[in-house]
Amino acid sequence: MADPVTDTEITEAAKEVVDAARKKVTAEAAQRKKGGGFGSNLGPGLSEQLTDADRAAIEEGLSWIVERFETYHTPHPKEFDLLIEKMDIVAAAFGKSDKGFAETDLGMITVAQEYVSEWDGALATNFSENFLSKMPIVMENQGLLARLLHNEMLKTKAMYETRRKNAVDIANDAVKAIEAINESKGIGLKVALAVIISVGTFMTLGTGTFAMVGAAAVSGATIGGPFIPEDKEKVPLGADTVEEVLDNLREALKKLDEKVDEQENTLIEAMERTDLMVYPEVYGQDKNEKATHMLPIKPRLMGASQSEIESGLVQFK
């Protein structure tokens, strides 16, 4: 996999657009001086001999480009690395990591069940039936949720990496379009240049966002499939003048933003649906009286007095 596009590479690509446009406009001004009647409107009122005011007008007309491209510096894909790592650690603890390793401490639950089976009394029964017996499904759901968050953050990171690459591709193709402007404008020849925008697509399904074991699904958007980078749109950049190329550049960046927004909204909706399912399972009003698919009920053994332990936890003789 290629290294992610850096902030510097984005800015430098934008500066190359500015340089190419500046060079072309200056050349057009020289052409006008020769009486060719062909020039750019980027710096309106340019005299045949470029003055400082003329050059300032050109720079002002190009000043938006670098700043516009620098909006793609954030969010940086690396910002998701810590969350991805932490979610993988949690998923691994429940045996749900894609890497295939698990935290062996959870195996002590089985050991605890074996020990408690040797005890009698109300506290022993409560601890076994209401806590330990619920742990397998709780562990499964906790692991599935962690893996879901881990995988979706991986996809989100990939989306922002592709967003950066698209921005640089747009800049590079804009330079080509500017350099290829045909100076025989009168014949109406357009440069056949276009940029392919592809930020990728999160596959959406009509089922529950989080397939919680033992619970009914919540209908709505979900991100249940892979990130599809083949979702592409062709946006023209080639034109007869610098102004038209830059207008096409603006439109290409707008299209890129729209595609990213669409996928961000898909992700947000899916996460909101997941929250709608998980929140009551964790923070429900009766969570201390009833086990949920995400949490076992608090065992009576916790907080029991010495006398309650002595009467409610009796080892078989």
Chain-centroid distance, C-alpha 111: 41
**Per the domain annotation, does 7 fall within a domain?**
no
**Per the domain annotation, does 282 fall within a domain?**
yes
Position with higher pLDDT, 269 vs 189: 269
Nearest-angstrom CA–CA distance, 174 and 62? 13
Q: How many domains does the chain have?
A: 1
**Per the domain annotation, does 39 fall within a domain?**
no
pLDDT at 62: 94
**Per the domain annotation, does 66 fall within a domain?**
no
| Residue-range definition of the domain harbouring residue 284 | 76-315
Task: Identify the helix (H) or strand (E) that includes residue 32.
Answer: helix 7-33
**Per the domain annotation, does 218 fall within a domain?**
yes
Contacts 24+ apart (CB under 8 A), 162-165: 162/198, 162/199, 162/200, 162/229, 163/72, 163/199, 163/256, 163/260, 164/4, 164/5, 164/10, 164/72, 164/77, 165/5
pLDDT at 126: 87
Map residue 196 onto helix, strand or coil: strand
Instruction: Kindly report the average pLDDT of the chain as a whole number.
Output: 77
For 63-101, write each residue's pLDDT tens digit: 999 999 999 999 999 999 999 999 999 888 888 876 655
**Per the domain annotation, does 121 fall within a domain?**
yes
**Per the domain annotation, does 232 fall within a domain?**
yes
Position with higher pLDDT, 284 vs 312: 312
Nearest-angstrom CA–CA distance, 283 and 302? 19
For 28-71, write each residue's pLDDT tens digit: 766 665 554 444 555 544 445 667 887 888 899 999 999 999 99
Q: What percent of the chain has pLDDT over 90?
A: 24
pLDDT at 170: 92
Contacts 24+ apart (CB under 8 A), 24-27: 24/178, 24/179, 24/181, 24/242, 25/58, 25/242, 26/50, 26/58
**Per the domain annotation, does 25 fall within a domain?**
no
For 208-245, write each residue's pLDDT tens digit: 345 566 654 433 334 444 444 455 677 788 888 899 99
**Over residues 250-274, mean pLDDT:** 88
Q: Is the pLDDT of residue 114 over 70?
A: yes
Contact predicate 167/148, CB 8 Å: no
